[in-house]
């Protein structure tokens, strides 16, 4: 058995991981993949045809670099899948709950920041749900589900951008900053709990690392909405809310584009 190591500079979340998995699992010579997203590293356990494997990765356009190949034994599968599934279900539940809460309060308070954050929560929930849904499925089914998810997230992002532009050019009032700050604080606590649960698993497997990265990004977004709420109060203006809303929708659209690549 051979183990070939690649450095992939643009592999920074589970979208790229799934792209690589779907590309390589079609090759019979690939036996197992090991991802280290934090260090942008991929280890491929395979029998032969290194050139074909490298070409398949290179076609994804993620700026890959082949570091070397060595003889190695195929590692044993992890025996804590049940615990990881349980944690992912909890994280999925937290994201879906705050999607509903932030969407509702965002509409009530007229805050694009809360609405955008709620859709970001929904987008993450879709990724977590897909990871659980397509475990053990065929590559064709994974690509089909990924395509639907990508289109759905793209629609969400475009609707969000259109609403930001509408409010930008209209005489809409400033949002209720109290809702923005209070709800975002609770969302921040929810994401901190999610990150604690993920880190508690002490897993170095790719999907858990990816979940930690997604949750860490959500914490940053929550902080951005809290800051925007404070600026709305001090400036008595709607602009901070629209800016943070536009930024979050850009993140959602970027994730959707990455997911759509899975269906190619």
Distance of CA 81 to the CA centre of its chain: 20
Task: Report whether 134 contacts 126 (CB < 8 A).
Answer: no
Residues 87, 143, single domain; the answer is: yes
Residues 63, 115, single domain; the answer is: no
Is residue 76, in this structure, part of any structural domain at all? no
Lay out the sheet containing 30-36: strands in order across: 30-36, 41-46, 2-8, 64-71
Residue 90 vs residues 94, 168, 180, 252: alpha-carbon distances, Å: 6, 37, 24, 22
Taking only the tens place, the pLDDT of each residue in 169-193 is 888 788 999 999 999 999 999 989 9
Which domain CATH number covers 39? Answer: 3.30.70.100
Residues 162, 46, single domain; the answer is: no
Residues 94, 54, single domain; the answer is: no
- For residue 106, the model assigns a pLDDT of 92
- For residue 3, the model assigns a pLDDT of 93
* Nearest alpha-carbon partner for 219 in 127, 107, 94, 135: 94
| pLDDT average per 10 residues of sequence, the chain (264 residues) | 91 74 82 82 89 90 91 67 73 89 93 89 75 56 67 84 88 89 94 84 57 75 92 92 90 75 61
- Running DSSP on this structure, what letter comes out for residue 262? G
Residues 93, 224, single domain; the answer is: yes
> Range of 187's domain?
81-263
Residues 34, 112, single domain; the answer is: no
- For residue 201, the model assigns a pLDDT of 65
Boundary-marking domain end, from 38, 71, 104: 71
Residues 44, 94, single domain; the answer is: no
Residues 86, 181, single domain; the answer is: yes
Is residue 102, in this structure, part of any structural domain at all? yes
Residues 142, 107, single domain; the answer is: yes
Distance of CA 101 to the CA centre of its chain: 20
- For residue 204, the model assigns a pLDDT of 55
Residues 144, 249, single domain; the answer is: yes
Q: Quote the number of domains for the chain.
A: 2
What pTM did the predictor assign? Answer: 0.64
Tokens of 206: 């790719």
Task: Report whether 134 contacts 141 (CB < 8 A).
Answer: yes
Q: Is 236 left (phi over 0), alpha (psi -120 to 50) or beta?
A: left
**72 phi, psi to nearest 5 deg:** -160, 155
């Amino acid at each position: 058995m051979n183990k070939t190591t690649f450095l992939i500079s643009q592999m920074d979340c589970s979208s790229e991981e799934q792209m690589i998995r779907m590309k390589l699992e079609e090759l019979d010579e690939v036996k197992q993949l090991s991802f280290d997203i934090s260090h942008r590293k991929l280890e491929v356990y395979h029998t032969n045809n290194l050139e074909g494997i490298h070409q398949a990765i290179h076609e994804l356009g993620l700026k890959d670099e082949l570091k070397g190949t060595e003889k190695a034994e195929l590692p044993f599968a992890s025996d804590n899948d049940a615990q990881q599934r349980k944690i992912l279900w909890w994280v999925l539940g937290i994201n879906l709950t705050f999607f509903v809460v932030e969407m509702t309060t965002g509409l009530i308070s007229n805050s694009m920041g809360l609405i955008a954050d709620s859709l970001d929560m929904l987008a993450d929930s879709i990724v977590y749900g897909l990871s659980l849904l397509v475990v053990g499925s065929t590559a064709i089914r994974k690509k089909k589900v990924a395509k639907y998810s990508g289109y759905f997230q793209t629609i969400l992002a475009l609707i969000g951008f259109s609403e930001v532009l509408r409010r930008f050019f209209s005489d809409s009032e400033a949002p209720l900053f109290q809702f923005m700050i209070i709800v975002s604080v609770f969302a921040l606590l929810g994401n901190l709990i999610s990150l604690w649960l993920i880190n508690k698993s002490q897993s170095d497997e790719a999907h858990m690392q990816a979940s930690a990265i997604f949750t860490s990004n959500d914490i940053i977004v929550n902080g951005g909405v809290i800051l925007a709420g404070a600026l709305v109060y001090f400036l008595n203006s709607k602009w901070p809310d629209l800016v943070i809303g536009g930024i979050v929708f850009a993140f959602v659209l970027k994730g959707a584009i990455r997911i759509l690549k899975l269906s190619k």
